[in-house]
Structure 1
Amino acid sequence: MDLKSLIRSVPDFPKPGIVFRDITTLLSDPQGLQVTIDRLYERFADSRVDYVVGAESRGFMFGTPLAYRLGAGFVPVRKPGKLPADTLSEEYSLEYGTDCLEIHVDAFESGSRVAIVDDLIATGGTALATANLVRQAGAELCGFGFVVELSFLNGRELLPNDVPIHSLISYPSE
C-alpha cells in the first residue's frame, strides 16, 4: 500500500511557503492506519522493546497501538504541567523559540528498552528532547520510528547516530 498517497498536502499552512503534511487523512483510512502500525511493528519486532514513548500529542496516536502490538507499555511525553507526578523536563529549540517536554521520573525501570515513535520528524528538536528524557529516566534507547520524515530539513542528523531511525514516508523536498 502506498501510504504517501494517504497524506494530504496543504499548501501555505500554517504560513505562506510551507506545505503541511496532514496525517488526518491517513488516520481516517482504516486500511492505511492498520498498514502504518503494521509497518512500524515490523521495524521494532526484533528489538525487545519494553516501552514505546510518544510525544504529545500525535505521537500518542501511533505509539499506543504500536505498544499494544509489541506487548510493551506506553509512556507519554507531555507539555509542562500535564503530568501529575514528579517529572524530568527538557527544553529544546524551535524555529521560532523554545519549548519544553516532560516525562515522569519513574516512567521506566532502569535499563528498560525504549522506542520513540512520532508522526513526523522535521528539524529533530522534539525527537532529541524526547531521547534526552528517556536517557535521563535511566532507560536504553533502542530506536526511533516516524510515519513521515521531512528529510530536506535534516532532522535525523540531530539524533544519536548509535540508534536506528525508521521512517515510513519521506519527503526529500518541500
Structure 2
Amino acid sequence: MSYDELYIKSVIRSIPDWPEPGVIFRDVTPVFKDPKAMRMVCDAFIQRYMNTDITHIACIDARGFILGSVVAYQLNLPMVLIRKKGKLPGDTLSQEYNLEYGTAAIEMQTDALQPVAEANVLVFDDLIATGGTVMAALSLINKLGGKVHEVASLIDLPDLMGSQKIQDSNVAVFSLLAYEGL
C-alpha cells in the first residue's frame, strides 16, 4: 500500500473519556487538516477499489461523506448518502440500530441505488466500533435491492467486535488502521 500507517496514526487524536468516561474517542478530523495524511488515506482507498465492479459508494453520515466523496469522484462513481433520520428529502427508508451510547436511526432515499439490478455498493464510514451503524446501512441497501461489495473504513476498533459482526453477516471489511483497546 502507498500509505504510512504510523504517520496517519500520529495525526489521529485519541481523546480519553469522551463522550463518556472509559471511552477513548479516535478523532479523525486532524486527518482532514493534514494534506499529506488525507492524500495517503484517499489514495490507499482509490488504489484498492480501482478496477472493481463497484457501481455505487454509500457514505455514512457524516465523516464517511468526506473520504467517500473523494473516492467516488476519483473512481467516477455515484455517491449515495446514508444520513441520520430526518435529514434527507423525498421518499426514504429508515433503519433503527443500537450504538455504543444509545440508539439512533439512519435513512436512505428509495431511489438511491438506480439501476437497482446492477447495484454493487461499497459502504464507507470513518470508523467501525460496535458495527451498529454499518449493519443498519447494510440492511437499508439490502431492502433497496442492492448488493454490498465491501465495507471500508479508516479505523477499526476490533475489541468492540463490530467488524467481526459485519464479517459474520458475509460482508467483507477493509480498514486502513486498527486500534486495540477501548
The two structures share one fold, judged by TM-score above 0.5:
yes
Correspondence for 2:43 among 21, 38, 47: 38
Q: Does 1:56 align with 2:64?
A: no
Gaps in structure 1 of 5+ consecutive residues: none
CA contact (8 A) 1:125 1:158 kept: no
CA contact (8 A) 2:55 2:120 kept: yes
CA contact (8 A) 1:47 1:142 kept: no
RMSD: 1.3
Q: Does 1:95 align with 2:103?
A: no
Summarize the Cα distance change of 1:96–1:12 in structure 2 as closer, same or farther, 3 Å threshold.
closer
Task: Give 1:160 shift.
Answer: 4.5
Q: Which structure has greater helix proportion?
A: 2
Counterpart residue identity of residue 38, structure 1: D
**Moved runs in structure 1, 4+ residues, more than 4 A?**
none
Percentage of pairs with the same residue:
38
Give runs of aligned pairs for residues 63-102 of structure 1, distance below 5 A: 63-102=68-107
Q: 2:171: which partner in 1?
A: 163
- Provide the TM-score with structure 2 as the length reference: 0.90
Q: 1:173: which partner in 2?
A: 181
Q: 2:145: which partner in 1?
A: 138
Aligned length: 174
Task: Give distance in 1, aligned partners of 2:155 and 2:81.
Answer: 20
Task: Give 1:47 shift.
Answer: 2.4
Task: Give distance in 1, aligned partners of 2:128 and 2:162.
Answer: 6
Task: Give distance in 2, aligned partners of 1:160 and 1:132.
Answer: 14
Correspondence for 1:12 among 17, 24, 28: 17
